Amino acid sequence: MGTIYDVVADSDDGRIHSFGARRSRADAEAYLAEELKRYAGSSWRNFRIAEVDATGLFEIPPRPTPRERYSVRVKQTSPAASWTKVAVEILDGERLVGRYDRNYAMLRTFEPFRQGGRHYALISRNYTATSVMDLETGEIIAGEEPSSGGFCPVGFYVPDWWDIHERAERSGTLPGSRRWTPDYEWPSGDFGFVWGCVWGDDSSWKVQYLDLSRVQEGVLTREERFGYVILDTGEAEGREVWRDAREFIHLWSYEGMRRVEFRTSQTYDLRSGQIQDPLE
């Protein structure tokens, strides 16, 4: 990353406060002039630019994100009146990088993500199993075995760094600045979410956790970590109106405490307090 330029000032209690960093001295000088006007007469004093060598520090992942970069082209391969099957082509722009067949409708079962500088994708070739494809080779490197009673994926979400820290760089929060904390170095593509249902329980979508930390070793683990949580994805009944997963799955990290908030649609039996499926 090289050198960053952090606009800082002193407070009455001796603290040094960062007002935001810039990647070039010219941008930092312009920003410093703005802050001097804004805080004229305040208790902040000794405004200045602190040069910080950020070599070897965390690198903010580049844009576009994998989700912005990769897409799929889907073609139905089964007759209209039969069980839906599709052929899926994965595209990097216009370049074909992988293909596979799926024995059910596509739904939202493609989610590209990055981990350790490499690009992967969550896919579902069988309607009761999740797999991971290496987008550089087109090979399946980890996955579940299909099962007639397995969990049927409807959608996937792997939080990208930009999903959570979209405003960081605009606010001047850069690696090496006084504003930067380890919270800004998360997430790194080592976990995700799948929503869907166990076959026969398809009146609502449940959400489960995917441990992706060992996919490079061929290991993918799905966990019912949150219990029987009915996810409210905001879809229109009877129509495939897909919402951005960030509308119903929200994550944040503060001082190492990592949290997820789901938009849910839970129904309870008033007498027992037991969770009920909303269509039962």
- What pLDDT is recorded for position 198? 86
pLDDT digits (tens, 9 = 90+) for 73-132: 999 999 988 999 999 999 999 999 999 999 999 999 999 999 989 999 999 999 999 999
In the structure encoding, which two tokens stand for residue 261, read together? 């908030």
Task: Give the C-alpha separation, 127 to 109, whole Å.
Answer: 9
Give domain limits for the chain. Answer: 3-53, 66-276
- What pLDDT is recorded for position 277? 67
- What pLDDT is recorded for position 278? 60
- What pLDDT is recorded for position 275? 79
- What pLDDT is recorded for position 235? 75
Range 268-278 average pLDDT: 81
Task: Give the C-alpha separation, 223 to 280, whole Å.
Answer: 25
pLDDT digits (tens, 9 = 90+) for 190-220: 999 999 998 777 778 999 999 999 999 999 9
Range 15-30 average pLDDT: 96
pLDDT digits (tens, 9 = 90+) for 23-36: 999 999 999 999 99
* 98 vs 276, more confident: 98
Task: Give the C-alpha separation, 260 to 3, whole Å.
Answer: 34
pTM (2 d.p.): 0.92
Residue 226's closest CA among 268, 257, 193, 250?
193
- What pLDDT is recorded for position 266? 81
Q: How confident is the model at residue 239 (pLDDT cuts 50, 70, 90)?
A: low
